[in-house]
Structure formats: structure tokens, C-alpha cells
Structure 1
């Protein structure tokens, strides 16, 4: 399982939101390039970037910062936030981004997403951000009537991955929603990347039990910024498959 550190960009700074609320943002570092290099040096094999300004605006905003990060790193970078047309996606690929993450258009323009997946096979990831099982759009500011599982079923098999985020858990450090992850994984063969709620090494290791059903990666954000998770330790632990480190009945608590 791949442990992927996250950097959320707002106003060119590295921030974290609470449950996707822009009004509850906390700046962790004013130099995102410095942070990205730190995660790479700790063993990250991929970086997850979210352009929060872009998500609100409907088009990429932090392009200069993204370019600097991509050029500074030796590892692949995946980027989401405001990618709602083909030119925006192509802009990122021209910067050297490895994967473009689309979300809102998966609900509003499914034919465009299918076209992007076929034009750029295994380079387009689909972000499914769920609030009470329904897909949120436009930077989580709106909630559609589309069920997360139904959207997962409809995604082209040429997609690189599905990034599933439980909005109510994002930035809360309360643990991943294993039940929802298992449900999403059960309706598609596309690799699932878990996102939202990671608070400890045990949370990360608990997801190893879902790897056989399709949960192949986990994104970690606030927990590594607050020191609750040591990224290098987590990467090593996952590589070692230290399932014995998971407390007894941990899954029962996480699903409560």
C-alpha cells in the first residue's frame, strides 16, 4: 500500500481545512515547495496536491506553485482542484504533473471524463468526495443527488484511480471510514485511494486489510502536519506489513 502525503494549496500556502470548510483553514507552511521536498526526503513515492483556490474558481489557480513543486521533485505528483475542462487538464500535464484529478465534472460532464480517461489512459484519477453517501461538487461547496457508489460504477476502466474522501472525516483525525471504502471497492475494479480522517499509524495499518479488495493507497494530510503520524515510519511500517501493530477490534471502533 502506498502512503501519499497531501499538500493543500490556498493563496500559495500549504494549509489544511476542517471538513472542507474554507473558513476553517490553518496555514502550516508558507513554502509548499519546502514541504514537498520534506515529504520526498522522508520516502514518499507520490505527492497529492489540491488547488483549493482552483476548486472554488473552477479552473487552476496555483499554477506557478504547482510548477515549482513538480520541477523540484523526483517523484510523481497528482493534482486536483478546479479541473472542469480539457484545457485545464492539459495545462497540468504540460507542467509535468503525472495525474490529473477530476471531481465535479464526473457528475456534471461524464462524457468529458470518459473522453479524458481514453485520451490520457491511466493518467486521470476521479475524486469522489462524499457527504452522507452523496457526491459533493465545486470544492465541496455543493452536494449533488448522485450516490458515491453509483458514480464509482460508471467510471471508465481507463481511470488511474478513484480517490474516495469522506468529507465529514477530512481534517478531523477521527479515522477512515472503512465501511464506505469497502462499499466503494466492491462496485469497481479501479484502484481505490483512501482519503480523510487518518489520525495515527494504526489507522493506516488498518487499511491493509482492505488492500485485497482494492484499496491500494492512502492519503495522509493533517496527521503528518500535526506530528500524529511520522511519514517515514508509516511508509516503512506499511512496507513491512505490520498488521500486528493494529489494536484488537480496531475496525469495529473505526466503523462506529
Structure 2
């Protein structure tokens, strides 16, 4: 419920729709489960396709490093829906540290280039320039490889969630045919018996009906009851 508040409109939580579809399904709200599955595909199938397409365009680590820099400078050729997702995935502390190190080597390389012909043309100057250039190439390769790994992990996680949604979709089709396995029947039975929607309020708290208004300091405390429609 909280993840659907305006505070999370631009956030990437595809698992919320997966959980919602499963919750509807085990409570025999099949139409709602089916609608949630369809919404997942409408929202995230294009995201997955774009992520795959971008990855295919950047095959080596150096190329992916250039893509990483464009992501950080908001210059990457990404759709408005995908841009914040990729930016978040490629902005953890380790990735940013690698970017900073490459930037430091860039500055050192530029400083040495301005040091004058006498230094740059000397054996010592040439050796230093060579070492900095080699360190930079290695750092770029490492940063690109790390960023590519983060990006591929994002794709894997989305693929796994898509597979989970496909499983729910298959279970819905099986349910409509009246063929559900014993494990699923048990889950539905437990959902029917559950009283998890009841909220007990102590004297220090107050139960306030939701009227469409979201309060930031109450995020995480909203509760929504789901009606169980199972008949067996």
C-alpha cells in the first residue's frame, strides 16, 4: 500500500506488483490478480526490452564505462521511465569510487601533459606518463566491468520477477480450469483462515481510516484488508 503513495511514484519496485498479484490470487480474487499481472507486463516488459537493448550496444568494458559516465551526467540515451532505474542501479558507493579514481587519473594525466616538453620528453616524464596511462586504462576496464555487473544484475532481478508473474498467470489459467494442486489449495485455505487484517490499537495509538491522503511520517504503517473470496 505504501509503495503506491505519491512519494514513490518514480521508484522502481516491480516486486510490489508481484506481491499484489500473489495476494489477490491466494485470496481467490482472480480477476484482480489477472489485472495486476497485465499491469506488470504493461509497465515492465518495455523496461526489460530497453535494458536489454542498451546492454547489447555496449559490449566491452571501456564502452560501458563511457555509458556509465553519460548516466552520471544525465546524458545517456534512455527513456524517462528507464533513466532513474539505471541511474540508481549504477550509483552505489563502489561504482562511484571507481568513477572518482578514473577522474583523478584524468586530472593527473592532464597536469602532466601541461608540464612542458622538457619534462614530458625526458625518460622520467615519459615513464610517469606511461604509468598513469596504464593505470587509467586498467581503472576504466575495472569500472566498466563493475558497472556492467550491476546493470546485468538489474536485468536478472527483473527477469526473475517477470518469471514469477508468469507463474501466477499460469496458476490463474489452471485455476479457471478448476485444476489446482494440493499446495496451492493449502495456501488458499490458510489465506481464508487468516485474521491478519485485524489491527489492535493500544492506548498510545489511534486507528485512522485512509481517505486518500498520504502522510510521510506514517509511511510503512498503512494497512489494507483483502477480502477472501475462496469458497472451499
TM-score under structure 2 length normalisation: 0.21
TM-score under structure 1 length normalisation: 0.20
Which structure features the higher share of helix residues?
Answer: 2
Determine which structure has greater relative contact order: mean sequence separation of CA pairs < 8 Å that are 6+ residues apart, divided by chain length.
2
